[in-house]
Amino acid sequence: MTQQRIIVVGGGPVGVVTALACAQRGFAVTLLEAQTEVDRSPRAATTHPSTLEMIASVGLIDEFVKVGLVARYFDFWDQTSHRLVARFDHDVLRDDTPYPFVVQTEQHKLVDIGLRKLAQYPDVDVRFGAAVTALEQDDHGVTVSIEGSGGAEKLRGTFVAGADGGRSTVRKLLNIEFEGYTWPERFLVLTTSFDFEKAMGCSFRSYLADPVEWGNLFKIAGDDLKGRWRAVFPAPVDVDDDTVMSDAEAQRRLNRIVDLGGAPYELLHRNLYRVHQRVAASFREHRVFLAGDASHVNNPIGGLGLNCGIHDALELAQTFAECANGDARAPVLDRYERRRRTLNVEFVQQQTVANKKRLEEKDPEQRAKHLDELAQTAADTVRQRAFLMRTSLLQSVAQGRSIA
Ligand SMILES: Cc1cc2nc3c(=O)[nH]c(=O)nc-3n(C[C@H](O)[C@H](O)[C@H](O)COP(=O)(O)OP(=O)(O)OC[C@H]3O[C@@H](n4cnc5c(N)ncnc54)[C@H](O)[C@@H]3O)c2cc1C
């Protein structure tokens, strides 16, 4: 029997992990990336215990931890009073996972490590500067048209994994609706060398509740491994981009967290982006599947989007492996959507919307109630474990296995 070929569209973290997991299950793999090099812009950075288990399963964990920061704790702060409300300790999960912590590692590092590992497999063809422009499916396979630095070409595969990001060409070619909404406020991301842990005693991942201007604060390793802090804030709809991105505004926002009394924060990077809560109406059309941001997007509070994408990657590779002879009518192929779409809606969409609401709550009574609940949950080991099982997606993995 000839070896089946999986064509993976998109060389982001989800595409690279999908390609690797498929190669490790004996498939020939073609990985197609439209850009000519890896995207190194600051994006997702938090990798939860459930995802660390998956990164270990594809043989990348040691290198991944080495280029990141291990964070055992995470905090909720009341930004209005600069008070620590609750500190959660992943160590309560020590009997549930070999990785009772998160690792703060920039997503492009996962791509780099994954690409190096992929190069060890003889039947893997990785092409940068190769954009997918069209797809045609029949009873035996999929023909993918690509354009790019190598000219126009058609490639043939048994199945296609569309991991080509939020604006997915694959999803659009399949005419699949991206259901949901876009938040009216944009999200401002500021990166600084200032050490918030030293200044305020916060954990490497801290959520700041504030009725006017909530925030996320987290430490990442940086390419030089010297460490830096990233802060995320909402940008009001009625303020223009130039104002939101100005030095004065960046300094004002950071000074609300720790007041430097007039001394400036050293700013390393700033970015403003639109955030959506959307899920593809379907994750599959015959031989073509969607994974990662191509199939779901969400706000970054809780750091769940990319984690869920890596979970898709492993599930999809396993689904292909369980489909004997590459027959597109095999019932197991429908299981991918039953599991991955359901879990995204029930865990990631639900949790990220709730996380945002909890941080931005304006009603004083509701606000006090939310913060009180967090404090009580952190103070009780049983409740804390239940909370962390959910935020780390360990519970979603267990639930996924029970979906036949
Ligand atoms: C500014 C920003 C900040 C973010 N911050 C966070 C955060 O703090 N926490 C968090 O959890 N998430 C965050 N996210 C989301 C997170 O980055 C995504 O969940 C993650 O990148 C998804 O990975 P992916 O591989 O599915 O898609 P992507 O990383 O988008 O990769 C898709 C790849 O497909 C390629 N591609 C596109 N079209 C084609 C085509 N036609 N042919 C071939 N290749 C194609 C693209 O060039 C790209 O390399 C952020 C996103 C942005 C934009």
Q: How is domain 5-71+105-180+277-357 classified at the architecture level of CATH?
A: 3-Layer(bba) Sandwich (3.50)
Best mutation site among 43, 48, 132 for ligand 1, i.e. most ligand atoms within 8 A of its Cβ?
A: 43
pLDDT-derived band at 150, boundaries 50, 70, 90: confident
**Cα 167 to middle of ligand 1, angstroms:** 9
Residue whose entry in the numeric block shows the structure tokens 């991918």: 336
| pTM (2 d.p.) | 0.97
Residue of the CA atom closest to atom 13 of ligand 1: 44
Amino acid at residue number 189 = V
Residue of the CA atom closest to atom 20 of ligand 1: 306
Q: First vs last Cα of the chain: how many Å apart?
A: 28
**Cα 15 to middle of ligand 1, angstroms:** 10
Convert the pLDDT of each residue in 171-186 to its tens digit: 999 999 999 999 999 9
pLDDT at 271: 95
Convert the pLDDT of each residue in 36-63 to its tens digit: 999 999 899 999 999 999 999 999 999 9
Amino acid at residue number 96 = D
pLDDT at 1: 57
- Please give the number of the atom of ligand 1 that sits closest to the Cα of 292: 26
Average pLDDT, the chain: 96
Quick check: 104 pLDDT over 60? yes
pLDDT at 73: 97
Question: 32 CB under 6 A from ligand 1?
Answer: yes
Question: 352 CB under 6 A from ligand 1?
Answer: no
pLDDT-derived band at 369, boundaries 50, 70, 90: very high
Residue of the CA atom closest to atom 30 of ligand 1: 165
Structure tokens at 311: 């979970």
**Cα 14 to middle of ligand 1, angstroms:** 8
**Cα 166 to middle of ligand 1, angstroms:** 7
- The domain locations on the chain are 5-71+105-180+277-357
Convert the pLDDT of each residue in 15-28 to its tens digit: 999 999 999 999 99
